[in-house]
């Protein structure tokens, strides 16, 4: 027990780093997925095409690879490369945000399909502008439809923060493994596992609460 307590400061420090990445990635990608989702359905062909290519690239390749390329690869582009040198943590935020925007955009796109077209007509005959209709009527309903899928991604995101390991940022797994190597003892990884489970427990509770808050009188 004393052994576990002695390793906690280092593990918690790693946890804070993981949570920081989690928070930044979430706060940026959840809203930014929406404009991309709208471009996926844009009437302007080149925009729609661009958005689809973007989503395709980031969804069809491993996040780990994206992370490594952004950190190690971008600075090597001749000419502009030196300006693209990010520190590890910021490179990670960039990779995570770009990756999760693609996922959320795709989820939102299908959510938009689930909102009844007639809702738009109701807005129109009530004199709402296109923007008012979107923000007050369409997006909230889309978000409600997407919530379970979004919740899934949020939980995956928390676990994905362990990919920071690939660029040697001192996140939870990185620190746990340092302890394992130092002491030739697996306990630290077990403790890391428990920490993930505890974090995800709270996350799940919050997400469930959100779902019921957005039930709008329906029994779910």
Partner 1 sequence: MMIEVANLQKAFGSNQVLRDISFEVAQGDVIAILGASGSGKSTLLRSLIHLETVDGGSIAIEGQDLVRDGVYAGREQIRRLTARMGMVFQAYNLFPNMTVKKNLTLPFILTGRGSRAQAQDRCLELLGKVGLLDKLNDFPASLSGGQQQRVAIARALMLNPDIMLFDEPTSALDPQITGEVLNTMKDLASDHMTMLVVTHELGFARNVANKVIFMHQGIIEEAGTAEAVFTQPQSPVTEAFLRL
Using CA atoms, how far residue 4 sits from 1, 9, 185, in Å, is 5, 10, 11
CA dihedral 49, 52, 56, 59 (to 10 degrees): 160
Does 217 help bind partner 1 (rule: CB under 8 A)? yes
Does 141 help bind partner 1 (rule: CB under 8 A)? yes
CA dihedral 71, 75, 77, 82 (to 10 degrees): 160
Please, which residue, 136 or 209, has the CB nearer to partner 1? 136
| Count of beta carbons in the 10 Å neighbourhood of residue 45 | 8
Point out which span in 50-58, 67-75, 139-147, 180-188 binds partner 1 (CB under 8 A): 139-147
**Minimal distance, residue 127 CB to partner 1, in Å:** 4
Does 127 help bind partner 1 (rule: CB under 8 A)? yes
**Minimal distance, residue 31 CB to partner 1, in Å:** 18
Per DSSP, helices labelled H in 75-186 are: 88-114, 117-125, 130-132, 139-160, 172-183
Does 87 help bind partner 1 (rule: CB under 8 A)? no
Does 140 help bind partner 1 (rule: CB under 8 A)? yes
Identify which of 89, 97, 94, 91 has the alpha carbon closest to the alpha carbon of residue 157: 97
Does 187 help bind partner 1 (rule: CB under 8 A)? no
Please, which residue, 137 or 180, has the CB nearer to partner 1? 137
**DSSP one-letter code for 43:** S
Among 43, 45, 213, 218, the residue binding partner 1 under the rule CB under 8 A is 218
3-class DSSP state for residue 41?
coil
Please, which residue, 177 or 211, has the CB nearer to partner 1? 211
Among 49, 77, 121, 190, the residue binding partner 1 under the rule CB under 8 A is 121
Contacts of 17 (CB under 8 A, 6+ apart): 89, 164, 169, 170, 171, 172
Among 137, 151, 180, 203, the residue binding partner 1 under the rule CB under 8 A is 137
Does 136 help bind partner 1 (rule: CB under 8 A)? yes
Does 210 help bind partner 1 (rule: CB under 8 A)? no
| Count of beta carbons in the 10 Å neighbourhood of residue 133 | 18
Question: In which element (H, E) is residue 68 found?
Answer: helix 63-68
**Minimal distance, residue 36 CB to partner 1, in Å:** 23
Residues that bind partner 1 (CB under 8 A): 116, 118-119, 121-122, 124-129, 132, 136-137, 140-141, 144, 214, 216-218
């Amino acid at each position: 027990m004393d052994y576990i307590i002695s390793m906690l400061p280092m593990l918690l420090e790693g946890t804070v780093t993981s949570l920081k990445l989690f928070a930044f990635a979430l706060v940026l990608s959840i809203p930014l997925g929406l404009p991309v989702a709208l471009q996926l359905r844009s009437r302007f062909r080149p925009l729609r095409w661009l958005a689809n290519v973007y989503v395709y690239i980031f969804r069809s390749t491993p996040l780990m690879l994206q992370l490594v390329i952004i950190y190690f690869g971008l600075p090597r582009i001749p000419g502009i490369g030196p300006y693209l040198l990010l520190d590890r943590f910021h490179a990670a935020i960039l990779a995570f945000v770009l990756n999760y925007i693609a996922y959320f955009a795709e989820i939102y796109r299908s959510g938009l399909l689930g909102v009844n077209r007639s809702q738009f007509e109701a807005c129109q005959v009530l004199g709402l502008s296109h923007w008012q209709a979107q923000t007050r009527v369409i997006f909230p309903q889309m978000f409600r439809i997407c919530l379970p899928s979004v919740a899934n991604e949020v939980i995956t995101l928390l676990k994905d923060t362990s990919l920071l390991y690939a660029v040697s940022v001192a996140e939870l797994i990185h620190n746990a493994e340092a302890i394992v190597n130092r002491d030739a003892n697996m306990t630290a990884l077990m403790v890391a596992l428990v920490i993930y489970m505890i974090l995800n427990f709270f996350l799940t509770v919050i997400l469930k609460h959100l779902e019921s808050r957005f039930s709008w009188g329906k029994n779910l």
